[in-house]
């Protein structure tokens, strides 16, 4: 039996799916007063299954094609891509963009070329692939989003989906993480440090809801709830030569708690 990372992921997925099926059957057998807690547990288990399904797809995805785009644009060298792919094969659930960022390549440039080469899937497409929403639900929300825009109201697709109770915040975080190739970090109990916030400018950090997590000699780690290419580019330009930024995704509610 193979002990490869991909094989281990599939075995874990199989076990979780069986557990979810057993739990779903048990819910119908218990006293109604106890069903609420079991349904919450089932919801959390299903969310984990959906995420693992996507991680398996990521592990099997042809990341080298994205890497070749970056090589052709002189963002990285063929040697850099080879080293990054070695790391991805060892840790298949990690995004290639994340690995390259940790190797010191600007995330803004990586995301820029992936975005403009049409290799980055839109959030709606990711949610459909994960079977979190259906094509009709996506199309309906896109029309609603378009109507709001015509009224001068900008509403991100994720917000529209959450407002309509089609997806949960957890589902949205999974899709957003995949969309931007950014790992998710928890900020529960985290307190912002004025000294760290000054690294990128306290006013800028407050305005864009950015939390500085760590300031190392060669990099700065930050968490934000609303990733944007312009923010990536601005912050990386503000860094001293030889220092780069590593971006992490955090729940909007947790980011807000850090500021109030």
Distance CA 39, CA 124 (A): 26
CA 243 to chain centre: 23
Distance CA 138, CA 144 (A): 10
The edge-to-edge listing of strands for the beta sheet with 210-215 is 210-215, 219-224, 244-249
Indicate whether 244 pLDDT > 70. Answer: yes
Please give the residue that has the higher pLDDT: either 225 or 222: 222
Structure confidence by residue, pLDDT tens digits, 57-80: 655 555 567 788 888 888 899 999
pLDDT band, residue 117 (cuts 50/70/90): low
Please say whether the dihedral angle defined by the alpha carbons of residues 137, 66, 156 and 175, taken in this order, is positive or negative: positive
CATH number 3.30.300.160 given to 185-260: yes
The phi and psi torsions of 31 (rounded to 5 degrees) equal: -65, 140
Structure confidence by residue, pLDDT tens digits, 83-108: 998 888 887 767 787 788 778 787 77
pTM: 0.61
Structure confidence by residue, pLDDT tens digits, 125-177: 778 877 788 999 999 999 999 999 898 887 778 778 888 888 888 778 877 77
């Amino acid at each position: 039996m193979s002990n490869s990372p991909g094989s281990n992921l599939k075995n874990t997925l199989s076990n979780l799916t069986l557990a979810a099926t057993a739990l779903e059957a048990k819910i119908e057998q218990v006293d109604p007063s106890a069903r609420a807690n079991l349904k919450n547990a089932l919801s959390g288990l299903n969310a984990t299954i959906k995420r693992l399904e996507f991680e398996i797809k990521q592990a099997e995805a042809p990341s080298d094609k994205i890497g070749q785009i970056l090589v052709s644009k002189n963002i990285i060298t063929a040697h850099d891509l080879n080293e990054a792919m070695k790391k991805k094969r060892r840790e298949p659930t990690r995004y290639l963009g994340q690995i390259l960022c940790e190797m010191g390549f600007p995330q803004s440039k990586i995301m820029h070329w992936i975005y403009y080469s049409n290799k980055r899937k839109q959030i709606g497409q990711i949610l459909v692939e994960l079977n979190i929403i259906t094509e009709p639900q996506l199309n309906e929300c896109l029309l609603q989003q378009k109507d709001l825009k015509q009224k001068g109201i900008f509403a991100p697709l994720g917000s529209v989906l959450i407002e309509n109770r089609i997806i949960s915040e957890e589902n949205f975080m999974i899709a957003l993480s995949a969309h931007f190739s950014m790992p998710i970090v928890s900020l529960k109990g985290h307190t912002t440090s004025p000294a760290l916030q000054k690294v990128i400018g306290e006013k800028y950090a407050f305005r864009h809801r950015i939390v500085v997590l760590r300031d190392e000699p060669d990099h700065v780690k930050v968490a934000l709830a609303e990733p944007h290419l312009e923010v990536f580019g601005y912050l990386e330009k503000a860094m001293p030569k030889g220092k780069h930024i590593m971006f992490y995704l955090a729940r909007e509610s947790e980011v807000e708690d850090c500021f109030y």
